[in-house]
Amino acid sequence: MTGSHYAIVPAAGVGARVGSQLPKQFITIGHRTVLDYTLQALLSCSEIKHIVVILSPSHVLYENQIKFRHQRISILHEGGDTRAHTVLNGLRYLSNRIRKEDWILVHDAARPCLELTHIEGLFKELNADPVGGILALPISDTVKESDQEGRVIATRDRQYLWAAQTPQMFRYGLLNQALSMAQDTMTDEASAVERLGLCPKLVLGSKSNIKITYPEDLALAEYILRRQERYE
């Protein structure tokens, strides 16, 4: 039971650490916004039937900066107080056109360097999986745990540590259940699924699939997009 594929892009955040007056998804790289490049990447996969972008109600003034318009894209101004609430609003929007066994890919708006091969890798590894999973990278740096004063209190064994990426891919019914029960502190969909006692699968991602968080990430994203021949 493979199921169809849909995508949700939570784009209601501000991203204060990037140091811009604009929300980071609306910052331009070349002549396109970060969000435009993200949507372009998702649209490159013909198997994704529809993409739901969820903005904050306060982002109405920025919407005209989004150049990428397509019949497979819907834009909602229904961002919630948390990521879980925002994604749940996207799931509700899709509820009349989707089956519980269909797949949902949740992808960060600020990951513009996603490539088709990354999405295809998820499909290959997860389409027959009973739980679903996420793109992720094994951690190569030594990991330190600190106390509240910034002092090292432990060095963690990195052998089984991974850094989560997106897309994160789960069936509609399972994801809806998990997020409906999620706590506000959860920062990704996999952690909500884990709370149900399930173990999402880790699918090897790519170092190029960066999330724009700090000012220097914009230059790195531009470099990667140029290398991918997607920079405009």
Strands (DSSP E) contained in 5-82 are: 5-11, 28-29, 32-33, 48-55, 73-76
Rounded-to-integer distance, Cα 225 and Cα 6, Å: 24
pLDDT of res. 8: 99
Res. 60 pLDDT band, cuts 50 70 90: confident
113 Cβ partners below 8 Å, 6+ apart? 37, 41, 208, 209, 210, 221, 224, 225, 228
Phi, psi of 32 (to 5 degrees): -130, 155
pLDDT of res. 21: 74
Q: Kindly report, residue by residue over 154-165, the tens digit of the pLDDT.
A: 999 888 999 999
Q: Is the pLDDT of residue 189 over 90?
A: yes
Other beta carbons less than 10 A from residue 89's beta carbon: 19
pLDDT of res. 184: 76
Q: Kindly report, residue by residue over 200-232, the tens digit of the pLDDT.
A: 999 999 999 999 999 999 999 999 999 998 887
The count of residues in the chain is 232
**How large a percentage of the chain has pLDDT more than 90?**
80
Q: Is the pLDDT of residue 1 over 80?
A: no
Domains in the chain with CATH codes: 5-130+166-199+209-227 (3.90.550.10)
pLDDT of res. 17: 65
Q: Kindly report, residue by residue over 65-119, the tens digit of the pLDDT.
A: 777 678 999 999 999 889 999 999 999 999 999 999 999 999 999 999 999 999 9
